Amino acid sequence: MKIGVKPYPSCRYTHAALDALIAMRREHNLTPDQIKRVEIGLHRNGITLTGDAATKRHPTSIVGGQFSMFFTGAVALDQGRFGWDDYDRLGDAAVDALADKFDVVQDDRLEIGRTHPFGARVSHHHRRRRA
């Protein structure tokens, strides 16, 4: 009875941020060219698994992609979803360019009293569309 269903085929520490990125994209009708910066705050365990090594920004393997907040977040923000077939986008220039706009930082608010600290804080800066 202790089975969990993962909504995304990636490290569990990426899921809350992916939910937020997809929702923000939909709510603000964002396109990748409008994005200036994205900051994702994670628990320190999430940083270790998905955001602290240079190889995390532009992974080259499926397993590397599964443990990259940069890659998974860039794909989700680019297309409004993230699924298994999206690992075909490893090395995609548009995804890599968007991943370069991401910062993954430790969020101390996720450290306090949490046994399963899988939450995330996501903020973004974007250019507004001209009417």
3-state SS, one letter per residue, for the chain: CCCCCCCCCCCHHHHHHHHHHHHHHHHHCCCHHHEEEEEEEECHHHHHHHCCCHHHCCCCCHHHHHCCHHHHHHHHHHHCCCCHHHHHHCCCHHHHHHHCCEEEEECHHHCCCCCCCCCCEEEEEECCCCC
Identify the architecture of domain 12-126 in CATH: 2-Layer Sandwich (3.30)
Question: Over the chain, what is the mean pLDDT?
Answer: 90
Q: What ranges do the domains of the chain cover? A: 12-126
**Mean pLDDT score, 34-51:** 93
Percent of the chain with pLDDT over 70: 93
Query: Where does the pLDDT of residue 130 fall: very low under 50, low under 70, confident under 90, or very high at 90 and above?
Result: low
pTM (two decimals): 0.90
More confidently predicted of 68 and 44: 68
What is the C-alpha separation between 126 and 117, in angstroms, rounded? 28
Span between the terminal Cα atoms of the chain, in Å: 53
* Residue 117, number of CB atoms within 10 A of its CB: 19
Q: What is the pLDDT of residues 82-128, one digit of tens each?
A: 999 999 999 999 999 999 999 999 988 887 776 667 888 888 776 76
